[in-house]
Structure 1
Amino acid sequence: MTNTDAPDASPVHTQLRVLLRTATSKDAAMTTAVLKHAGIESLACPSLRDLLQEIPHGAGALLVSEEMLSGTGAAELADAVSAQPPWSDLPVLILARQGADSRAIGVAMDGMANVTVLERPMRVASLVSAVRSALRARRRQYELRRILDDLGEADKRKTEFLATLAHELRNPLAPLSTALAILKRKAPTPEAALPYYELMGRQVEHMVRLVNDLMEVSRITRGKIELQLAELTLAQVIRDAVELSRPLMEARKHTLALNMPDASLAVEGDSVRLTQVFANLLNNAAKYTPEGGTVEVFLEQGDHGDAVVRVKDSGTGIPSAMLDAIFDMFVQVSDTARAAQGGLGIGLTLVKSLVELHGGSVDARSAGIGHGSEFVVSLPLLGRGVKAGTRPGVDAEAAAARQRILVVDDNRDAAESLAALLDLLGAQTAIAFGGMEALRAAEDFGPTLGILDIGMPGMDGCELARRLRAHPRHRHMGLIALTGWGQPGDRARIAQAGFDHHLLKPVNEDALSAALRDLGQRRRS
Structure 2
Amino acid sequence: MQPQFSGGTWRDGAAPFALRYLFATFLFLVALAARFMLVDVLPARGFPFLSFFPAVLLAAYVAGLGPGLFVAFLSTWAAWAFFMGPRLAPTAMAQSDLIALVFFASILVVDCLVIERMNLAMRKLRATGTRLRESEDALVARQAELSEANRQKDVFIAMLAHELRNPLAPIVSAAQLIALRAGADDGVARAAAIIRRQGLQLTRLVDDLLDASRIHSDKLTVQRAPADLRDVIASALETSAPLIDASAHAFDLVLPPEPIPVLVDSTRIAQCVSNLLHNAFKFTPTPGRISLHVSLQPGRTVSMRVSDTGRGISPAMLPRLFDMFTQEGRSGTDGNSGLGIGLALTRDLVQRHGGTLAAHSDGHGKGASFEIVLPLSEEIAAAPAPVPTPALAPDTDPASAAPASLPAILVVDDNEDAANLLQALLEMHGFTVDLAHTGAAALAALARRPYRMVLLDIGLPDMSGYDVASGARQQGLLRNDAYVVALTGWSDADSRQRSADAGIDRHLNKPVQMEELLDVLRHSR
Describe how 1:377-396 pairs up with structure 2 within 5 A.
377-382=372-377, 394=394, 395=396
The equivalent of 1:452 in structure 2 is: 456
**Higher CA-based Rg:** 2
Query: Is 1:191 aligned to 2:184, yes or no?
Result: yes
Q: Is the 8 A contact 2:450 2:479 kept in 1?
A: no
Determine the C-alpha separation between the residues in 1 that align with 2:192 and 2:331: 34
The equivalent of 2:197 in structure 1 is: 202
Q: Structure 1 stretches of 5 or more lacking a match?
A: 1-97, 100-118
Q: Partner of 2:319: helix, strand, or coil?
A: coil
Q: For each residue in 1:423-451, what CA deviation from the matched residue of structure 2 results, as whole angstroms up to 9, or x when unmatched? A: 22333222121122223333444434332
The equivalent of 2:228 in structure 1 is: 232
Give the alignment partner of residue 510 of structure 2, picking from 476, 500, 505. Answer: 505
When normalised by structure 2's length, the TM-score is: 0.56
Q: Which has the higher strand share?
A: 1
Determine the C-alpha separation between the residues in 2 that align with 1:191 and 1:251: 19
- Tell me by how many angstroms 1:346 deviates: 1.8
Determine the C-alpha separation between the residues in 2 that align with 1:518 and 1:249: 27
Give the alignment partner of residue 360 of structure 2, picking from 346, 353, 365. Answer: 365
- Tell me by how many angstroms 1:307 deviates: 2.3
Q: Partner of 1:191: helix, strand, or coil?
A: coil
- Tell me by how many angstroms 1:486 deviates: 2.2
The equivalent of 1:413 in structure 2 is: 417
Q: Is the 8 A contact 2:327 2:336 kept in 1?
A: no
CA distance change for structure 1 residues 223 and 304 in 2, over 3 Å: closer, same or farther? farther
Determine the C-alpha separation between the residues in 1 that align with 2:477 and 2:262: 49
The equivalent of 2:80 in structure 1 is: none
Q: Is the 8 A contact 2:324 2:344 kept in 1?
A: yes
- Tell me by how many angstroms 1:364 deviates: 2.5
Give the alignment partner of residue 269 of structure 1, picking from 264, 268, 284. Answer: 264
Q: For each residue in 1:237-291, what CA deviation from the matched residue of structure 2 results, as whole angstroms up to 9, or x when unmatched? A: 5576567557656766545555668876553334443333223213212322333
The equivalent of 1:442 in structure 2 is: 446
Query: Is 1:353 aligned to 2:361, yes or no?
Result: no
CA distance change for structure 1 residues 379 and 470 in 2, over 3 Å: closer, same or farther? closer
Q: Is the 8 A contact 2:355 2:373 kept in 1?
A: yes
Q: How many residues align?
A: 375
Determine the C-alpha separation between the residues in 1 that align with 2:458 and 2:283: 40
Describe how 1:262-341 pairs up with structure 2 within 5 A.
266-334=261-329, 338-340=333-335
Q: For each residue in 1:142-183, what CA deviation from the matched residue of structure 2 results, as whole angstroms up to 9, or x when unmatched? A: xx9xx99xx9xxx9xx9xxx9xx99xx9xx99xx89x99xx9
Q: Is the 8 A contact 2:290 2:309 kept in 1?
A: yes
When normalised by structure 1's length, the TM-score is: 0.56
- Tell me by how many angstroms 1:468 deviates: 2.0
RMSD: 5.1
Q: For each residue in 1:223-243, what CA deviation from the matched residue of structure 2 results, as whole angstroms up to 9, or x when unmatched? A: 443335233245x65576567
Determine the C-alpha separation between the residues in 1 that align with 2:322 and 2:252: 25
Q: Is the 8 A contact 2:226 2:380 kept in 1?
A: no
Give the letter for the 2:184 counterpart: E
- Tell me by how many angstroms 1:412 deviates: 0.7
Give the alignment partner of residue 461 of structure 1, picking from 458, 461, 465. Answer: 465
Give the alignment partner of residue 431 of structure 2, picking from 418, 427, 433. Answer: 427
Q: For each residue in 1:176-225, what CA deviation from the matched residue of structure 2 results, as whole angstroms up to 9, or x when unmatched? A: 89x99xx9xxxx97433444434433333333333333344445664443
Q: For each residue in 1:469-489, what CA deviation from the matched residue of structure 2 results, as whole angstroms up to 9, or x when unmatched? A: 233454644432221112222
Q: Is the 8 A contact 2:260 2:376 kept in 1?
A: yes
The equivalent of 2:484 in structure 1 is: 479
Determine the C-alpha separation between the residues in 2 that align with 1:474 and 1:300: 49
The equivalent of 1:490 in structure 2 is: 495
- Tell me by how many angstroms 1:417 deviates: 1.6
Q: Which has the higher helix share?
A: 2
The equivalent of 1:45 in structure 2 is: none
Determine the C-alpha separation between the residues in 1 that align with 2:272 and 2:402: 32
CA distance change for structure 1 residues 191 and 265 in 2, over 3 Å: closer, same or farther? closer
Residue identity (%): 36
Q: Structure 2 stretches of 5 or more lacking a match?
A: 1-64, 67-113, 388-392
Give the letter for the 1:442 counterpart: L
Q: For each residue in 1:84-125, what CA deviation from the matched residue of structure 2 results, as whole angstroms up to 9, or x when unmatched? A: xxxxxxxxxxxxxx99xxxxxxxxxxxxxxxxxxx9x969x9
CA distance change for structure 1 residues 481 and 253 in 2, over 3 Å: closer, same or farther? closer
